[in-house]
Amino acid sequence: MAPNGPQRMAAALEHLQGLSREWSDIPLIIMLQEMDSRDLAIIRKNQWVQSGFHVTDIFTARWVGAYGTVTLVDHRLPLLEVFRVRYESRMGRDALFADIGMPGKNQPVLRLCNTHLESLRAEPPLRPAQVARASQQLQLTDCGIMAGDFNAIEDFDTSLHLENEMLDTFLELGHQDEAEEGWTWGMHSESGKKYGCRRMDKVLFRGNLKIASLERLGQGLKIDVGKWGSQYVTDHLGLVAVFEWIDSSNVGEDGEASDRPSS
C-alpha cells in the first residue's frame, strides 16, 4: 500500500543480489510476500533472477487477490513440483509449496512453504487453522520448511509451531520468543510506534534439517524519493536462514551422519 512500489522492489532485488555473493557456495531459496503484478514484471526482467532461479509465478493467474507470494528456487536445486493450497481466509491468503529433490538413496524430498498468514485479529482466529493446513502438507514429505509473514500478534501465535510438530529456527538457536533481536516489524513503520515492534516473520522446519544460522536483513534499507527525502524499502525485515541437510542414508553405526551439505 506504500507508494513507490516498483522502485522499492528493484532496490530489494538489488540488495538481495548483493547479499547472495556472501552465500555463493550455497543454493538459495528466496520467498517473497505481498508481491503485485508490477513486482512480477520487475522479477521477470531481472537478469540476476533469470540467470540463477526458477520462478514459481510470472503472472498473477494463481492468486486469489491483487497480491500474492512468489518463490525463487536456485537453478542448482532440482525443482520437482510447485502447487498452492488455499486457506480459509478473508484476505485471499494461501500457502505456496515447492518440492526439492535432495541427495540420498531413497530420493528424499524437501517441501518448501512460502506463506502469508491472516493479518489482524479474527473471531474465531484464522491463523491456527492456516498453520495446521500448511503443516499437514509438510508432514507428507521427508522434511519441510515453512517461512514468511506469520502476522504473529496474539498469544496463541507463540505455540503454533509446537501444536503442529515443527521447530522454530529463532527459538532453536537459543533466543526468547519476543526478544528484541528477533523483531521483524515495527522499526520501519509508524504503526510500530503505536502497536510496538514484533517478531511477525518466522522460519519453521521439520525433518532431516539442522538450523545453522538465522539473521535479519534489510534493516535501515531505503530508497531516495527526491525532494521528499527517503523511504524504507519495506515495513518488514527479511530473514536469512541457513540450513544443513542431514542425509540419513549416510548415517553410520555410530548414529552420526557422514555428510551434511548446506542449503
**pLDDT, position 263:** 45
Alpha helices in 110-167 (DSSP H): 127-138, 160-163
- pLDDT < 70 regions, the chain: 250-263
Query: CATH for 87-208?
Result: 3.60.10.10
CA distance 246 to 91: 37
Give the model confidence (pLDDT) of 124-158 as tens digits: 999 999 999 999 999 999 999 999 999 999 999 99
Question: How many Cα atoms within 13 Å fall on the side-chain side of residue 55?
Answer: 20
Neighbours of 84 (CB within 10 A): 17
**How far from chain centre, in Å, is Cα 229?**
30
Other Cβ atoms less than 10 A from the Cβ of 24: the count is: 7
Are the C-beta atoms of 95 and 85 separated by less than 8 Å?
yes
- Phi, psi (5° rounding) for residue 81? -160, 150
**pLDDT value for 256:** 52
What is the pLDDT, as a whole number, of residue 34?
Answer: 97
The pLDDT value given to residue 236: 97
Task: List, in order, residues 6 or more apart from 250 with CB less than 8 Å away.
Answer: 104, 257, 258, 259
Give the start-to-end residue ranges of the domains of the chain: 1-77, 87-208
* Side chain identity, residue 130: Q
SS3 content of the chain, % helix, strand, coil (to 5): 30, 30, 40
